[in-house]
Amino acid sequence: MSTAYHHGARVNEVSGAAFTMQTVSTATIGLIATAKDADAKTFPLNTPVLLTNPKAAIGKAGITGTLASSLRAISDRVTCPTIVVRIEEGADADATTSNAVGTTTEDGRYTGLQALLTAEARTGVRPRILGAPGLDTQPVATALSNVAKKLKAFGYASCDKAKTLSEAKTYRDSFGARELMLIWPHFTAWDTVANAEVQANTVAMALGLRAKLDQDVGWHRSLSNIPFDGPMGITADVYFDYLSEGTDADILNEAGITTLVKHNGFRFWGSRTCDKTDFIFEVYTRTAQVIADTIGQGVFEYTDKPMHASLIIDIIDAINAKLGSLARFGYILGGKAWFDASLNDTADMKAGKLAISYDYTPVPPLEDLQLTQTFTDVYIGKLKAAVTATNA
């Protein structure tokens, strides 16, 4: 309050509007790639580089390695922020795998996949859709899921060198992370450099499609069953019949592997992660991540304010408003926040601690639709009635 003399009234304008939580952005790709002949200034080694338009950077990505083909596969589907970490191609495949997994150097720099952990600090943008197309051996896929967990992101990877359905299933058993989706087999596409039909950059296609879905529909929509252009074929035979049980596609999906089908266009087919407990679906994991980050970052403004009852109520109201908004727009089925007195004892509150509880229900994808068809003679009566009426 001012101490200056004034005989009259003073008007102090303040904002009484409730604080609104902003949903975190999810359509940002984090890409690990190789390219010996890429422009070193545009793509310095082991450094997160933010591309706002991946297509515009293809000319500086060289023609060797995985970078150019990955950027092309992504930009064919979407224009979105893409963070690229170019790694050095090793003397052999194992050395390249080590470079992709990455580490922390003696001078404190992060390399390979680990460099994505510094992307937000360097670029101001956090990657949420991660992949290392063409480099995703088992060690790389494992590191990918670990980095995804730390970033509250989601990773997509192939089944490495699996040639058969059985090999793909065996490979799948090595993983259990909710932050990872495995894909088998690969698409084929036309390569303008080789002038031939070759194995396509399938994981990069998945990254681009995922980002496109986030932009156009939302993170609550599964990657599965979205037709898209680009593929010419599939590298392995996958028996698929929408109306039959026990197909190759069923076997792969049940195992937690997303497969590829051609049905009114080429599609990814499968919504499952490598988790077999609660977070079995891609959308379950991503919903949990988005809500955790949105609410976690959304309460920042309340920290260090006096903990009156009104502050606690404001926090609960803000969370409920956000959960209600997400439910109204179809991102979740519902959610609620509340104050649980049993979790807030006097000593903790005296020490400045407060526990707020909230729940939510994600939107499950329709995976198994059962239709009941009944053969009946009920409508014969209509036939008889129609004939009778005509001849009357």
pLDDT, residue 215, reads 96
Which position has the higher pLDDT, 177 or 6? 177
260: its two tokens: 């590829």
Cβ proximity of 185 and 235 under 8 Å: yes
Stretch(es) of the chain classified as CATH 3.40.50: 29-284
Question: In the chain, what percentage of residues exceed pLDDT 90?
Answer: 89
In the block, tokens 């480099």 appear at 135
pLDDT, tens digit, 9 for 90 and up, residues 343-359:
999 999 999 999 999 99
Quote the crossing angle between the two packed helices 67-75 and 202-216, to the nearest 10°: 30
Query: What does the pLDDT read at residue 14?
Result: 56
What is the arithmetic mean of pLDDT over 349-373? Answer: 96
Q: What is the pTM of this model?
A: 0.92
Position 19 confidence tier, pLDDT thresholds 50, 70, 90: low
Beta strand pairing call for 129-131 and 29-34: parallel
CATH topology of domain 29-284: Rossmann fold (3.40.50)
Q: Of 128, 141, 260, nearest to 200 (Cα)?
A: 260
Average pLDDT over residues 252-263: 97
